[in-house]
Amino acid sequence: MGTKTYKASCHCDAVRFRFTCEEITSGRRCNCSICIRKGVVMSSNYFRPTDVEVEGSEHLARYQFGDKDVNHFFCRTCGIAPFNTVASVPPDYTGPARPGDYRINLGCAHDVDVLALDIEVINGKAF
C-alpha cells in the first residue's frame, strides 16, 4: 500500500489538519478515564510532527492530568478533541512514542468510516 494524505477537522472547522500515512484500516480505543469519557477512536500509530500540518491551532486548548505525559487538545469553540500529543516519556520507556508525536482522533478524519475499522482496545488504566 502507498501513503495517503488525509484531511481532518474539528466539528466547527476552526481547527483543520492534514496527516500522511498508510491507508487507515484500524484504530484504538482506550479504557483510561479521559478516553472513556471522550469515546474517541484514536489512530493505531503515532505520527511524527513532520507528518501533521495543523491550521487554526489558536482555537485549541490543552488539558493535562495525572503524570502530564500527554497533551489532550480540544477546540475552544465546539469541544471536539482532534488529537493529542506526547508531552514526555518516562526515562525507562522503550516504546515508539516520542515527545511531540501525535495520536489522531480518527472521527475527525474526512473519508474515514471509524465504525468500519478494526478496533483494538488497550488497557490505558494500567499506564
Q: Where are the beta strands (DSSP E) in the chain?
A: 3-9, 16-22, 26-30, 42-43, 52-55, 60-63, 70-75, 83-86, 102-104, 118-122
Consecutive 10-residue runs of the chain (127 residues): their mean pLDDT?
A: 91 98 96 92 96 97 94 98 96 94 98 96 84
The DSSP 8-state label assigned to residue 14 in this structure reads S
Using CB atoms within 10 Å of the CB of residue 124, give its burial: 0 to 12 exposed, 13 to 18 middle, 19+ buried: middle
Domains of the chain, with CATH numbers? 3-126 (2.170.150.70)
Expressed in angstroms, the distance from the first to the final Cα of the chain is 33
Tell me what percent of the residues of the chain surpass a pLDDT of 70: 99
Per-residue model confidence (pLDDT) at position 1: 61
